[in-house]
């Protein structure tokens, strides 16, 4: 899912996203509750009309953004200072649901407690348990029947806690499940073990969603373990710094070696950027700080990850995902060597 934190995926518009066949995008509860406000968006027809986006939208609960602000966490909810004007703000499980109902997303998330890793085991366990209690309150507060409310599994990188959290969350009968608290600096092996543990207790017929994961290798690692959905700012953030994702490894368009390179960013990509512009021209745009460079590189990176997921789905349906995964990993490693 391309990330439109403030109801906009950075540097691209709705038509760009449709051209790369993005099926769903993500917006952020925390940022939108501050500006322009969920009430204003509701009066303007909800996020779909506000953004001119007629495909699904998922809103996260704002938990990750809030907990990066070092808030006061109590059983009732969290208290923190607004990053806009410094005013005190309180967010509870009930208000997080109400805000997302006003935003009008198709999929909304429970309010969870994100723990920075590494953390003492007793802290990870306590906040995992708090997330379960908050999930029950979110279920009770949720009124809109045209929205799917997803639960969130926590537990750090402790497989035992992940199993317990997933088992308890699954019993609440959510239509889908987020796996939160990962992609925060843990090792690839620890993340994979945590994902495996969580997935083992989640129903196979409902979506499993690793929140905040967006590197190509990590995506396929998680798909191999039964995960269906992902979001991350990585593709557009990389684009703004000149980093390009390709089938043969990442490249930095700022490098001198591309000054006279007439090849597209990626021969295997059919996006607008790759079918229309050379590496040399894109390097020139980036060095001249042209705004179009951000857009064109963002389009490519988003198209690359969208196609990667498309190819993974085909490989799964044809019973060859394991070989697809191995080949992809080998090619990327060779390209990055």
Specify burial of residue 167 (Cβ count, 10 A radius: 0-12, 13-18, 19+). middle
Evaluate whether 60 touches 211 at the Cβ level (below 8 Å). Answer: yes
Residue 231 annotated as catalytic: yes
Alpha carbons within 13 A on the beta-carbon side of 147: 28
Copy the structure tokens of residue 112: 């969870």
Active site residue 261: no
Catalytic residue among 16, 60, 158, 221: 60
Cα angle 296, 209, 83 (rounded to 5 degrees) comes to: 65
In angstroms, what CA-CA distances link 276 with 93, 291, 305, 317? 47, 17, 19, 32
Assess contact for 103 and 46: CB atoms under 8 A: yes
Place of tokens 């499993």: 208
| Spatial CA neighbour of 177 closest among 143, 200, 159 | 200
| 3-class DSSP state of 227 | coil
CB 236 within 8 A of CB 246: no
Length of the chain equals 337
Among positive and negative, which fits the CA dihedral 302, 228, 63, 13?
A: positive
Q: What is the 3-state secondary structure (H, E, C) of 141-186?
A: HCCCCCCEEEEEECCCCCHHHHHHHHHHHHCCCCCCEEECCCCCCC
Among 65, 53, 56, 57, smallest CA distance to 27 is for 57
Among 112, 158, 231, 266, the active-site one is: 231
User: At 90, phi and psi to the nearest 5?
Assistant: -120, 140
Catalytic amino acids?
A: 60, 231
């Amino acid at each position: 899912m391309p990330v439109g934190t403030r109801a906009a995926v950075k540097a691209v518009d709705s038509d760009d996203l449709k051209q790369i066949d993005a099926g769903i995008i993500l917006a952020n509860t925390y940022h939108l509750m501050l500006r322009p406000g969920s009430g204003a968006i509701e009066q303007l027809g909800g996020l779909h009309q506000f953004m001119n986006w007629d495909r699904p939208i998922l809103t996260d609960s704002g938990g990750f953004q809030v907990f990066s602000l070092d808030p006061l966490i109590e059983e009732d909810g969290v208290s923190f200072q607004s990053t806009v004007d410094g005013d005190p703000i309180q967010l509870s499980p009930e208000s997080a649901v109400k805000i997302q109902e006003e935003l009008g997303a198709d999929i909304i998330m429970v309010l969870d407690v994100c723990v920075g890793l590494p953390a003492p085991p007793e802290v990870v366990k306590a906040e995992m348990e708090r997330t379960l209690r908050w999930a029950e309150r979110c279920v009770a507060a949720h009124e809109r029947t045209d929205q799917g409310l997803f639960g969130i599994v926590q537990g750090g990188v402790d497989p035992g806690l992940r199993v317990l959290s997933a088992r308890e969350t699954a019993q609440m009968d959510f239509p889908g499940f987020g796996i939160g608290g990962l992609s925060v600096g843990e090792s690839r092996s620890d993340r994979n073990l945590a994902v495996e543990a969580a997935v083992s207790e989640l129903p196979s017929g409902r979506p499993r969603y690793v929140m905040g994961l967006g590197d190509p290798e990590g995506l396929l690692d998680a798909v191999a373990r039964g995960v269906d959905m992902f979001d991350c700012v990585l593709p557009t953030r990389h684009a703004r710094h000149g980093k390009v994702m390709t089938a043969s490894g990442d490249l930095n368009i700022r490098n001198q070696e591309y000054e006279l390179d007439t090849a597209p960013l990626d021969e295997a990509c059919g996006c607008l950027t790759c079918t229309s512009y050379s590496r040399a021209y894109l390097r020139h745009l980036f060095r001249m700080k042209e705004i179009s460079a951000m857009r064109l590189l963002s389009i490519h990176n988003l198209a690359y990850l969208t196609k990667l997921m498309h190819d993974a789905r085909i490989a799964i349906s044809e019973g060859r995902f394991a070989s697809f995964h191995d080949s992809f990993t080998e090619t990327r490693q060779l390209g990055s060597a």
